[in-house]
Amino acid sequence: MTDQPISGVDLELVDVTKSYPGQERPAVDGLTLHVPAGEIVMFIGPSGCGKTTSLKMINRLIEPTSGTITIGGDDVRKQKVDELRRHIGYVIQGGSLFPHMTVAQNIALVPKLLKWDDKRVEARVDELLDLVNLDPGRYRDRYPRELSGGQQQRVGVARGLASDPPVVLMDEPFGAVDPITRSRLQDELMSIQSELRKTIVCVTHDIDEAVKLGDRICILQEGAQVAQYDTPEHVLAAPANRFVEDFVGAGSGLKQLTLTRVDDIELRSWPTASVGEPVAEVLARAGQAGESSVIVLDQRRRPRAWCWVRDLEGQDRVPPPAGDEVLGVDRRATLNDALDDMLSSSYGAAVVTGRRDEFLGVVDFASVTRHIQETAQQVEASAGSGPDGTERT
Ligand SMILES: Nc1ncnc2c1ncn2[C@@H]1O[C@H](COP(=O)(O)OP(=O)(O)OP(=O)(O)O)[C@@H](O)[C@H]1O
Ligand SMILES: [Mg+2]
């Protein structure tokens, strides 16, 4: 994905079984799986198929009945449970923050257990808040109830990463937030992952999320039987059996849109305006570009608002936008996300942001349409290439 060094380690499950007392069949029945260092593997499968149980055996919140789990070659059973858990990040739905602790205290939990000195803990908290796009100055001392659901989830992710663990387990981390916040959180996770390259196992119920985030997808059937373990491209193009086919669902052609990143198509430039800048300069710039709208950027070059040129006329300087929202989709967002964004704005283009939400450019309808047509042609061409025309990766 990037050239950043891998900080994750290999994770290996060999013939792992969990039988709960009083249950006829094992919840997890002989699961064998290798998660390569630095990759994100998405677990997906019907309710009750054993996803959470499998995850919790990795950090020994549940003890396996039999089988072996190794992290970086070390058998998890040979380590002290507390010690083990401090080196495995764990993020669950809603963030599960302690309500009586501030954001900073929540994030600092594990580093404090690891006896980091106060200075280092403090610096780490701010660094992580920055990483998950929460301004440390504003959010450090808030209590969870003073945060939105999406913000709580961000803090949950920050807490999971606090001790810089090589392995992070996530159980439906973004399940409880609205679709737009969800897609932002997914983008943030991908951006964090491209910097940190951890080994991540993430449970989801959403095939689009699995396709978007996963280096590989592990589709599980009852008893955590692996129906297919493969790259998203392969799962979509060549489902291993009927079960996977049904799970992936109809319209996997359109799902290819979920496989394409905004990054994969060319961005267009667009005239911008900085808050406080003389309007005359902005008007000149928009005129040169032949556009009737501009994108207003704040001091950190984050896009804050679309603005029609005619609404600026007669003013001296560009006024600060209302609210504190940042516009746009991350460059790692999918074309699906970008289309959503375009459809909800009346400007016919989606603003694209990079690191720390910095403005990069826009994608417009024309470029997305062009891409859909090209993809359709490729799919057609490969479908005509023989009985098993599935070799398109
Ligand atoms: N503590 C427990 N005692 C007995 N049975 C359990 C226990 N925890 C889970 N099970 C059973 O084990 C099976 C797997 O449960 P698990 O929670 O791992 O499923 P899951 O795939 O995470 O489901 P979901 O998608 O609904 O979260 C289910 O049949 C469940 O009823
Ligand atoms: Mg579960």
Condensed to tens digits (0 to 9), the pLDDT of residues 319-368 reads: 998 877 888 899 888 888 888 888 777 777 899 999 888 999 999 878 88
The answer on 173 and 104 residing in a single domain is yes
The answer on 236 and 290 residing in a single domain is no
Domain boundary residue, one of 223, 250, 277: 250
Nearest ligand, measured from the Cα of 170: 2
Distance 28 CA to ligand 1 centre (A): 9
pTM for the model:
0.76
Domain boundary residue, one of 250, 281, 305: 250
Per residue in 299-332, pLDDT (tens digit) is 989 999 999 999 998 899 999 988 778 888 998 8
Per residue in 79-131, pLDDT (tens digit) is 999 889 988 999 988 778 999 999 999 999 989 988 899 999 999 999 999 88
Q: Please tell me the residue having the least CA distance from ligand 1 atom 17.
A: 52
The answer on 339 and 241 residing in a single domain is no
Nearest ligand, measured from the Cα of 44: 1
The answer on 52 and 28 residing in a single domain is yes
The answer on 276 and 211 residing in a single domain is no
Q: Could you tell me if 189 and 214 are in contact, meaning their C-beta atoms sit under 8 angstroms apart?
A: no
More confident residue, 44 or 179: 44
Mutate to test the pocket of ligand 1, among 49, 63, 219 (most ligand atoms within 8 A of CB): 49
Is residue 184's pLDDT more than 70? Answer: yes
Residue 329 falls within a domain, yes or no? yes
Pick from 180, 189, 157: nearest CA to 90: 157
Residue 154 falls within a domain, yes or no? yes
The answer on 216 and 284 residing in a single domain is no
Predicted pLDDT at 117:
93
Supply the CATH number for residue 207's domain.
3.40.50.300
Residue 233 falls within a domain, yes or no? yes
Residue 283 falls within a domain, yes or no? yes
Ligand 1 neighbour 63 (Cβ under 6 A): no
Rounded Cα distance, 288 and 314, in Å? 19
Predicted pLDDT at 13:
97
The answer on 292 and 228 residing in a single domain is no
The answer on 289 and 235 residing in a single domain is no
* Nearest-10 crossing angle of helices 149-161, 179-196: 20
Supply the CATH number for residue 332's domain.
3.10.580.10
Ligand 1 neighbour 48 (Cβ under 6 A): yes
- Atom index in ligand 1 nearest the CA of residue 205 equals 25
Q: How many CB atoms lie within 10 A of CB 84?
A: 17
Predicted pLDDT at 1:
47
The answer on 228 and 273 residing in a single domain is no
Residue 2 falls within a domain, yes or no? no
Helices within 214-276 (DSSP H only): 232-237, 242-248, 252-259
Structural domain of 217: 11-250
The answer on 288 and 236 residing in a single domain is no
Q: What is the mean pLDDT of residues 374-379?
A: 69
- Atom index in ligand 1 nearest the CA of residue 43 equals 21
Our CA angle for 256, 352, 200, nearest 5°, is 60
Pick from 393, 125, 44: nearest CA to 234: 393
The answer on 39 and 141 residing in a single domain is yes
Per residue in 255-307, pLDDT (tens digit) is 667 778 888 888 889 999 999 999 999 999 999 988 889 999 999 899 999 99
Distance 54 CA to ligand 1 centre (A): 10
Distance 48 CA to ligand 2 centre (A): 7
Predicted pLDDT at 386:
42
Our CA angle for 285, 289, 294, nearest 5°, is 65
Per residue in 3-30, pLDDT (tens digit) is 678 888 999 999 999 999 988 899 999 9
Structurally, how many domains does the chain consist of? Answer: 2
The answer on 94 and 234 residing in a single domain is yes
Is residue 252's pLDDT more than 90? Answer: no
Nearest ligand, measured from the Cα of 46: 1
